């Protein structure tokens, strides 16, 4: 019955597991068939449920799922649900299911593993992001920002703070970078007078925000230079952009990771400062001297 023979640590797609269950369904015992049918009809539950929870939902004993897992080549239920959890990590299931997955790990005493997974995914996202681009592409985007009459930095939702941080850092050196939308305004309103002399740096990740996409289309129609940051080459803010960057966003937690996006923007800002006129150094010094003089910074 078992011809998959999954080795410990081996990655396998959920579709392969489901296909195997479907193929073997008629050969299973009545109780195992009941468990397998539940998995085939509710695959998202596997990655977010403990063995007791899913057994209760399927109305079988927990040991039935252990036997089912072994029947398709896994050592036990934890190994069986591993590919389903990985699919959740990669964004294959809704955010609510990803949150449930975190809670099921906590109930199973698995937070030490979650800590390690969070660290590993953050490092992997940064590595993926920086290996998919190069210094020349970052410099080309920085050149566009330095040469622009105005650079609009658009981020909403989880990208709101990234946009504000980028504009905050830029403000120390130059006065032509602005985070949008401002409070009480819409992103499309901010671009009403934008044109070929301007730049729009826009960020959005799946599920893509329609207000960001609307602003990108307006900017394109007005000849604005577009710098797109997203999670896929096919993203509407990357495809067709003048300078497109794809960042890693995978994470074990319930929402999209912005660690790699933040690292990329910090790098882009470093290139902007390095590429700008020498007087930006004096501007940065004046910014911090003023803060010291006003007592904003705590004296050491």
Q: How would you write the chain as a 3-class SS string?
A: CCCCCCCCCCCCCHHHHHHHHHHHHHHCCHHHHHHHHHHHHCHHHHHHCCHHHHHHHHCCCHHHHHHHHHHCCCCCHHHHHHHHHHHHHCCCCCHHHHHHHHHHHHHCCCHHHHHHHHHHHHHHHHHHHHHCCCHHHHHHHHHHHHHCCCEEEECCHHHHHHHHHHHHHHHCCCCCEEEECCCCCCHHHHCCCCCCCCEEEEECCCCCCHHHHHHHHHHHHCCCEEEEEECCCCCCCCCCCCEEEECCCCCCCCCCCCHHHHHHHHHHHHHHHHHCCCHHHHHHHHHHHHHHHCCCCCCC
Give the model's pLDDT for residue 15: 76
Fold (topology level) of 124-293: Rossmann fold (3.40.50)
What CATH code is assigned to 14-109?
1.10.10.10
Q: What is the pTM of this model?
A: 0.62
Give the model's pLDDT for residue 5: 47
Give the model's pLDDT for residue 9: 40
Sorted by where each begins, the domain ranges of the chain are 14-109, 124-293
Write out pLDDT tens, residues 39-60. 887 887 787 778 888 899 999 9
Q: What is the mean pLDDT of residues 232-258?
A: 86
- pLDDT band at residue 82 using 50, 70 and 90 as cut-offs: confident
Domains 14-109 and 124-293 are alike in CATH topology: no
């Amino acid at each position: 019955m078992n011809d998959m023979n999954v080795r410990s640590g081996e990655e396998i797609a959920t579709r392969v597991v489901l296909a195997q269950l479907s193929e073997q369904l008629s050969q299973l015992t009545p109780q195992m068939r009941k468990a397998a049918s539940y998995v085939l009809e509710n695959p998202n539950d596997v990655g977010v449920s403990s063995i007791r929870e899913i057994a209760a939902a399927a109305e079988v004993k927990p040991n039935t799922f252990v036997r089912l897992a072994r029947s398709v080549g896994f050592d036990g239920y934890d190994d069986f649900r591993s590919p389903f959890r990985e699919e959740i990590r990669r964004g294959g299931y809704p955010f609510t299911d990803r949150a449930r997955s975190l809670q099921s790990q906590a109930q199973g005493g698995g937070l030490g593993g979650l800590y390690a997974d969070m660290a590993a995914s953050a490092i992997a996202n940064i590595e993926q992001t920086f290996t998919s681009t190069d210094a020349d592409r970052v410099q080309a985007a920085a050149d566009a920002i330095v040469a622009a009459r105005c650079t609009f930095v658009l981020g909403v939702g989880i990208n709101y703070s990234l946009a504000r941080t980028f504009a905050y850092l830029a403000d120390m050196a130059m006065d032509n970078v602005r985070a949008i939308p401002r409070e009480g305004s819409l992103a499309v309103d901010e671009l009403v007078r934008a044109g070929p002399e301007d730049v729009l740096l826009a960020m959005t990740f799946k599920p893509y925000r329609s207000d960001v996409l609307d602003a990108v289309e307006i900017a394109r129609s007005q000849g604005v230079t577009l710098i797109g940051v997203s999670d896929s080459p096919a993203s509407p803010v990357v495809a067709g952009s003048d300078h497109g960057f794809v960042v890693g966003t995978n994470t074990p937690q319930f929402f999209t990771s912005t660690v790699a996006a933040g690292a990329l923007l910090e790098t882009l800002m470093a290139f902007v400062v390095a590429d700008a006129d020498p007087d930006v150094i004096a501007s940065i010094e004046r910014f911090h001297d003023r803060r010291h003089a006003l007592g904003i910074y705590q004296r050491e």
